[in-house]
Amino acid sequence: MSKCGFKHAVPQVPDKHWRCPSCGSKSHCKDPDDPSRETDGWIIDDPICCDCEELHEQDILNCYICDASMTGAEYAEWYAKKAKMVKCPHCKGTGLVKKGKR
């Protein structure tokens, strides 16, 4: 992880699961108005730190397909629920584990 000084979202969402929670679009997808063209989909529109590739709690994410919007913290929380992750009892909640693998 980077030493950028900003709070990283927990958990970090893997690239293969990076999608808009509302419509399912990826970071780059086919333009709904012109399917022959690629356009932005679910992206970090206003990153708090440009030097770090991690998702930060304060990052602003927007979908240019369905107009959904949320912070990095909200997106990480949404992903954790979707992936059935719970706070780790061994590290006193600073990390997450798959439910049932404690």
Which residue in this structure is represented by tokens 């030097």?
A: 51
Of 69, 73, 65, 100, which Cα lies nearest the Cα of 10?
A: 73
Full-prediction pTM beyond 0.75? yes
Res. 1: pLDDT tops 50: no
Write down the pLDDT at residue 67: 94
- Do 1 and 8 contact (CB within 8 A), yes or no? yes
Structure tokens given for 52: 């770090």
Taking the C-alpha atoms of residue 97 and residue 80, their distance in angstroms, rounded to an integer, is 9
Stretch 11-38: mean pLDDT, rounded? Answer: 90
Taking the C-alpha atoms of residue 60 and residue 44, their distance in angstroms, rounded to an integer, is 6
Write down the pLDDT at residue 98: 76
Res. 102: pLDDT tops 80: no
Q: 25 CB contacts (<8 Å, ≥6 apart)?
A: 19, 41, 42, 63, 65, 66
Q: By percentage, how much of the chain surpasses pLDDT 70?
A: 92
Taking the C-alpha atoms of residue 66 and residue 8, their distance in angstroms, rounded to an integer, is 26
